Amino acid sequence: MKKILLLIIFIFISNCTLKKIVQHHGVHNLKEKQTKLIINKSNKNDIIKLIGPPSTESSFDNDVYIYIERKTSSSKLRKLGGRILLENNVLILDLNKRGILVAKKFYNKDDMQKINFDEEFTLSDYSKRSFIYNFFYTLRQRIDDPRGIKRTRN
């Protein structure tokens, strides 16, 4: 019995690692890379060469490149392996029509806690019919015509 218990403990301990496993999503070392970008000097090609393609790209009046970096790690055993957020960085780059960097904004995990979001929300009503009405309407159509072909009565 003691041998089985020791074997189970050995298997459990051998599967545990002493190093933290860090999962990385997005651009690595975004904070260091963004310092190399110079406003009114760096262009679109320099940005893509240094950081790579953007995580999200938007184009209205100016091009906006958004880069994301997120690092998570597993927590201690006492928290049952939950995830801990190590880094959460976002870089927003504004480019003019010629592709020159006009402005850059860098947000880290602490800055994102300070962003105020609007508490109000807008309800949208896409149709005047309710979901239940639409459900019963299609159900009635299928009962009346199960094959999808209108029958003609003679």
pLDDT in tens, 87-114: 889 999 999 989 999 999 999 888 877 7
pTM score over 0.75: no
Question: Which is more confidently placed, 122 or 25?
Answer: 25
Amino acid, single-letter form, for residue 2: K
Q: How far apart are CA 114 and CA 123, in angstroms?
A: 26
pLDDT given for residue 154 in this prediction: 47
Closest CA to 93 of 136, 36, 21, 154: 36
Backbone dihedral region for residue 40 (phi beyond 0: left; psi -120 to 50: alpha; all else: beta):
left
Sole residue written with tokens 């904070």: 31
pLDDT given for residue 93 in this prediction: 93
Amino acid, single-letter form, for residue 10: F
Question: Which is more confidently placed, 77 or 90?
Answer: 90
Q: How far apart are CA 70 and CA 24, in angstroms?
A: 6
Question: Which is more confidently placed, 48 or 147?
Answer: 48
Q: Which two tokens stand for residue 51?
A: 């950081």
Residue 46 · residue 37 · CB < 8 Å: yes
pLDDT in tens, 28-64: 999 999 999 999 999 999 999 999 999 888 866 678 9
Q: How far apart are CA 151 and CA 153, in angstroms?
A: 6
pLDDT given for residue 138 in this prediction: 77
User: CA quadruple 74, 77, 78, 81: dihedral positive or negative?
Assistant: positive
Closest CA to 68 of 97, 26, 108: 26
